Structures are given as structure tokens and as C-alpha cells.
Amino acid sequence: MKLLEDLRLQFDQPLWARFPEMAVYDTILEKRIDILKLFEQDLLEGLKNNDFGRKDKPSVEQLVRSIVYKELRGITYEELEIHQFDSEICKRFLKLGKKAYSDSMYQAYTAKVKPENIKLMVVEINKIAIEMGYEDVEDIRTDSTVVQTNVHHPTNNSLVHDCIKTATSLLMKMTIKHSPDYNRLVDRYKEAKSIYYDLNNIKIDEKDKEERKKKRAELMKSLFEEYLNFLKKISDEIKQAISTDISGLQNSDQQKIKDLDKQIEIIYKNAWRFQIEGKKVENKDKIFSIYEQHTDIIVKGLRECLFGHKVNISSGKSNLILDCDVEQGNPSDVNLFLKPLVNIKDTYQRQINSIAHDGGYASLDNQASAQKLEIKNIVFTKVVGSLQNIVESPAKEKFLHSFRAGAEAIISNLKRGFDLVRVNWKGFEMFRAKVFWGVVGYNIRILTGHILESLFPKPAKV
């Protein structure tokens, strides 16, 4: 294949040979300019009179290359800026010449890329792997994992404190420093912070366990009543500010204070209901972070609850990730069964022969749905009741059980190799973008491994 021959020539150069993943991606972009076209509309939005970037800004190609370079090297934007000066492979890969760009510029342009277009890049890389014979889309395994958002563990105490702290900061921007209003806000926040500390450090000396729990609950209720009164005063001031004039604030701060007004109402109501009235609050009615409002609570079985999003991942025999979705809410795995199979079949226009899933996806309805897609072998690692695996032979069932276990390694490789245990990019769309860029980097790494094995096969053991 032409791509293999081009890469063989690339690897003859010592610099590219030391960074084979960069060589593979470089060669793909050189041969497939259509992949760059996926990002033109996103990256050139707002720029005039130029089809491919501006002289004082990176081109579309340089921006796409820079994001993948950052993912493959596992570096920050600040480190990317430094690499432009002291890394030869960075200069060559990004086609910089004598020009270098700031970390803030790269970050600003990365934020413009829509997650849907990154998913299209994943598909194009996978199609190249299919054309090269590394993937046939016949055997598919699916598993889900939790990718956390960058939030602290939410409690009523911490959420009320976050509201008071953020509201105080925004209200301070509306008053003159050293005025009585400014001093009042500072003093009130200090008092609220003191209550926040007291709630986190309640100590009762009673020896009797039940008596200690009772006194602790009484003290916490008393402190929370005072604490929530602070929040109510803050809420009243925000409503007054919104109803009068907030034009003195920047547009972003105006939106923040409007959003915060709605969040405070929910957090106040939930905290009062639970802490004062002792009633349960359903997860669907809760806010888990005022900074990352899209955060969901994810509970899988008896495991520790996590805060972020469930990510559903499907892969084939090549270990390439063929389909990936970031879910909202906490959907059961059983409801995530069909969508990736339909996506894979429609996207790659190939018939799936066998699937392997863990017991969380198992149901008679899902089995029937897979049969409608003409899938011959349907294996769940745990089956109960009348549900039985459908396979051509016991050997095939055994193979698919082992095949599904590989999904755990893929998820581990993706999350730890591309910093997806916890995502610190802000907002749901940027969260999705970070996950999909991680998948791009992971797939390039896997594809590179297959190519190196083809070009430089290991000698057979005697």
C-alpha cells in the first residue's frame, strides 16, 4: 500500500524514526487534505480574506497538528509554547519555520473546534486502518467508563460556600473598593467562611455513639440555619442587582450572575430540605457544581459514586476505538447497547458478525435488537434467567469472552495515556472535545503500532 511505502521512507529519517506516531499522523495529513477541511469552518470563523489562516496566526493545518502533538506528548499549552523553541520534532511536525505562537492563541483556537468534527476525524483514521487491513469491523466489544469533571466532592456545605464566594466576588465588582458596601461584603464572606469551616470540623465529646450523632445533627442544623440565612441575603441582593442595573459588569459576568441566581435558588431549596427538614432530595433535582453545571452523578453498582459523565466505548479486533459517546445523566448500560452497533454499521458500511458485552448490557430486548441487525454471535459475560448467549460454537463463545476482557485494557490505556481520568476543560462541549481528542491520539498510537509491525516484523521465535 502507498501509505506504507511513504512511511517506510519517513522512518529512514532518524528524527521521524524516533517519533513514529508523529510520522504516521504527518503522512496521513499530507495524503488526506480532506481531513483538514473538517475543521476549516470552525477555526476560520471570524477571520476575513483568508482561506487558510492569517499570517499572524497559525494555519488550519498547524492548529490541527498542534492539538494532536499536545495529546500525543501529554503536555500543557504552556509546554507546547516552549516546545516550539527547543524541540526539533515540534518545529518539523507543526511546520513552524521561524514563527512561533503563544499558548493562549493555541488554546483559544482549540476551543473553537466542535466535538462532532473531531468524531469525524476518528472515523477517517479508522477507515484508513480498515483499508490497510488492520480492522474488519466483524467483532465488536463495548464497555462504559466514567470520566470525571474537575470538581470537588459536592456537599451542601461546599455548594453553599461556593455560591456565597462567587456571588460576593461578582457583587464586589459592582461596588467601589473601600466603600462601606465593599467592607460589608468582605466581612460577611469572612463570617460565612467561618461557618463553612465549623461545619467541616464539628466535634462532640460525648462517649455514647447515638448521643454523639444526635448532638452533631443538632449542631449542624443550627449552623446550617444561620448559613442558609447568609445565602438568602446574598440571593436577595443578586435579584436586586439584576432588576436594577448590571451593565457595569462585563457580558460574561452578567451571564454568570444571572446563572448564579437560578443556581442559588435550587441549592438553597435542596439544602434547607435536607439539612433543616431532614427530607431526601432526588439526584435529578440536585446541582453538583456551580462551576461545571453539566456534571452528573454516576453510580455503577456498589462502587463509589463519581461526578462527571459516562463514556460508552466500542472497539474491534485491532483495538482501535470505532465508536465513542459522552452521555448525559446516568443512563443504565442496558440502554446504551444498541446505539453504538447501529452507528458502527452505518458509518463503516460493514456487517458486524460478533459482539461481546459485559452483563450490564444484557437483556432479552437487546439480544433481539442485535439479531435484527443480523449479528450471528451475541455474547454477554453474565447471563441470567431465560437469557442465553447465541453463538456458532463453544469455541467462539470462549473467544468472545476473552475478547471482551480486552475492553478494560483499552479504557485504561485511553484514560491514563491521554489524561482522561479527570477532564479540566470547562463546559460540556469542551469536555466532549477533550474526550474525542484523546480518542484521536489513542487511535493514532494503536495504528502506529500496527504499521510498525507490518514494516518491521519481529523475527519468529525458533
Q: In this structure, what CATH number is given to the domain that contains residue 364?
A: 3.30.420
Query: Comparing C-alpha atoms, which of 302, 263, 306, 257 is closest to residue 286?
Result: 263
The string of pLDDT tens digits covering residues 203-228 is 766 666 677 677 778 888 888 888 89
Query: How far apart (Å, rounded) are the C-alpha atoms in residues 434 and 431?
Result: 5
The per-residue pLDDT for 241 is 82
What does pLDDT average to over the chain?
A: 90
pLDDT mean over 144-171 = 92
260 and 162, same domain (yes or no): yes
Residue 310, Cβ density class (10 Å: 0-12 exposed, 13-18 middle, ≥19 buried)? buried
pLDDT mean over 233-237 = 87
Q: Which band of pLDDT confidence, cut at 50, 70 and 90, is reported for residue 244?
A: confident
The per-residue pLDDT for 51 is 47
Q: Which band of pLDDT confidence, cut at 50, 70 and 90, is reported for residue 386?
A: confident
The per-residue pLDDT for 239 is 87
Query: How far apart (Å, rounded) are the C-alpha atoms in residues 101 and 350?
Result: 43
204 neighbors 217 (Cβ within 8 angstroms): no
| Locus of grid cell 493545518 | 61
43 and 126, same domain (yes or no): no
175 neighbors 169 (Cβ within 8 angstroms): no
The string of pLDDT tens digits covering residues 420-431 is 999 999 999 999
Residue 225 forms part of a structural domain: yes
Chosen domain end from 259, 285, 311: 285
Residue 422 forms part of a structural domain: yes
Query: Comparing C-alpha atoms, which of 137, 24, 19, 16 is closest to residue 454?
Result: 24
The string of pLDDT tens digits covering residues 104-128 is 999 999 999 999 999 999 999 999 9
358 and 398, same domain (yes or no): yes
Does position 462 have pLDDT exceeding 60, yes or no?
Answer: no
The per-residue pLDDT for 55 is 57
Total domain count, the chain: 3
Contacts of 59 (CB under 8 A, 6+ apart): 52, 53
234 neighbors 264 (Cβ within 8 angstroms): yes
Contacts of 431 (CB under 8 A, 6+ apart): 147, 149, 294, 309, 326, 423, 425
Query: Comparing C-alpha atoms, which of 293, 375, 309 is closest to residue 341?
Result: 375
Does position 41 have pLDDT exceeding 70, yes or no?
Answer: yes
Cα 110-115-117 angle, rounded to 5 deg:
95
User: 38 is in which domain, residue-wise?
Assistant: 2-113
Residue 450 forms part of a structural domain: no
Q: Is the pTM of this model over 0.75?
A: yes
The per-residue pLDDT for 56 is 66
Chosen domain end from 263, 285, 307: 285
